[in-house]
Chains A and B, each alone.
Chain A
Amino acid sequence: MPQKANRRGGPKKDGLFTAVPFLLPSLLGLLVFSLLPLLVSALISFTDWNGLDQLLAPGFLQEHFIGLENYKNILLGAELWKVLGNTGAYIIMYIPLMLAASLLEAYLLSSTRRGVSAFRVVYYLPVLTSWVAASLIWTSVLSPQYGAMNNLLALFGIQGPGWLLDEKWAMAAIVLVSVWKDAGFFGLILLSGMVGINKSYYEAASLDGAGAWKKFWRITVPLMSPAIFYVLIVALINAFQLFPQVMIMTDGGPNGATQVMVERIYRYGFRYFRMGYAAAFSWILFVIIMACTAIQMKAQKRWVNYDA
């Protein structure tokens, strides 16, 4: 029997005929919900389609095809750079804060002390909350005059800012909400990297007289670098796709201070019905995300340790 030879491939070499019924549903989904829309989206981005005329009706291209006009307008206009600046400000604040918070949570949850499971539930509550509810709750907390935050700060004699109403503070407020909501989720992922570390490393380090702080930086962090890398990739992609919290808390304001990519795509596409322009915007977002992921993949060789 030649079965030993194709073990890796499966029980029997029945091939395509067997695979097709199993693949059919997802394959259909791949075509209809992923590949076809991808192609159509590229096409729309070369048109000035307004969402009303029949897409791809006879004569559609003659009437609406405008080549690279959308891309030229976006790349040469000031808006994209402003939006990217806003996103950059978000990322610079969000990534370090989120990483610090989720590492701390993972470290605390990796303990075997009593009460850990209660802390686990509490830390996870913000993750369970929908973005809409979280945004509404924080809008109330950050309300300048009647909100909890500024009244709490006032107890310590600090005059809090206008938060969502203040151009300088609105993005910081969005970061605050996002860290609060995401730390529990990323913390759990980091925790699964942390508990996999062999205890004998810590015992050896203890014998050599290393303290908790040193053990954390010299053993825990390097050995869980794959989990940290995963978190960074996902967090960065999410950061570029920042949307519901902006939509509900500031609607892009005040004075455009929290306008970000997805918010622009949504507004151009479904408020102004400039579908072509919105599609071009989405492709620029796509390219940026791919570039950032590629850079991180390259850079990981320098610091991610898979030998553990």
Chain B
Amino acid sequence: MTLKKRLGTTGYYVVSTVIAVVSMFPFLWMISTSLKSQGAIMSIPIQWIPQEPSGDAYVEVFTKFNFLRTVGNSLFISVSYTVITLLSSAMAAFAFAKVRFRGNDLLLKLYLATMMIPTQVTMIPLFVIMNKLGLINSFGSVILPSIFKPFAVFMLVQQMRAIPEDYLEAARIDGAGIFQVFRKIALPMCVPTLSTLAVTTFMESWNDYLWPLLMLTQREQMTLPIALATLQGTYNPQYNVLMAGSLVSMVPIIIIYIMAQRNFKNGMMAGGIKG
């Protein structure tokens, strides 16, 4: 039995490590390539580890466009997007879960039904609408759609329904208005779901490609993924520059993830799968 257990443990670490290596391998290649000079990326046999590490690719990335500005754009957009999503969805969820009004269930079903609409169907008219609103080439075009996120509403309705009515009633008897009840009781009790949603929404916005590609065409307004994609030339890709750009683009989200990890893990478990 103990031998079997030991074998099991060895097997566990072997398999886990193999998968970890597969996950990490492209990143290691990225780091290695980003440190090569233009000549070294096309040497045969290839250099797994750059023989003469060079920072040229990074210099080129930072001179080709203003990376700090691009990171700033991405941060501004993703933070605004996340805050608006959480606020608007939590408000709607509160109304659905805790306010009794005619058509409550029907309206919630309508919200949820729109989750099935692929973004591509609404993409063309939305382009026209943004154009009409004069929002093309402004951050508003990318941020504003965050006001309606049915998935976030759905998750928050689940959580708000679990808040005991007595808490809300007690607050109201003490003279709290409905907005105070929302802000002081309902919101704090939704923190686990809110923090999960914050991380997933932030990542979704941070990594989004198609919509910002259509909306933000000016160099000064580009987000990280869009700017990164422009590094890709048509002929003879400069892989060292592309890999340096990729690496630099990953740093902020990794830092944010590590900071948020504890909340995220717990929230993920608490949220569970209900849909």
Contact = CB atoms under 8 A, between A and B. Distances in A.
Interface of A: 3, 6-7, 9-16, 18-19, 21-23, 25-30, 32-38, 40-41, 44, 55, 101, 104-105, 108, 111, 113, 115, 119, 121-126, 128-134, 136-141, 143, 145-146, 148, 151, 180, 184, 188-189, 192-193, 195-196, 212, 226-227, 230, 237, 240-241, 243-244, 247-248, 261-262, 265-266, 269-270, 275, 278-279, 282-283, 285-286, 289-290, 293
A121 to B, nearest CB: 8
Interface string B246-261: 1001100110010001
Interface in B223-275: 224-226, 228-229, 231-232, 237, 239, 242-243, 245-246, 249-250, 253-254, 257, 261, 268-269, 271-273, 275
B42 A146 contact: yes
Interface in B137-165: 144-145, 147-149, 153, 165
Interface string B85-99: 001110110110111
B122 A33 contact: yes
Contacts of A286: 117-118, 121
Interface size class for chain B? 35 or more
Contact of A33 (B25, B29, B147, B181): B147
A3 B121 contact: no
Contact of A7 (B95, B121, B165, B203): B165
B210 A37 contact: no
Contact of A132 (B19, B165, B209): B209
Interface in B92-139: 92, 94-95, 97-102, 104, 107, 110-111, 114, 116-129
B74 to A, nearest CB: 10
B11 to A, nearest CB: 9
Interface of B: 8-9, 12-13, 15-16, 19-20, 22-27, 29-30, 33, 41-42, 44-46, 87-89, 91-92, 94-95, 97-102, 104, 107, 110-111, 114, 116-129, 144-145, 147-149, 153, 165, 168-169, 172, 178, 181-182, 203, 206-207, 209-210, 214, 224-226, 228-229, 231-232, 237, 239, 242-243, 245-246, 249-250, 253-254, 257, 261, 268-269, 271-273, 275
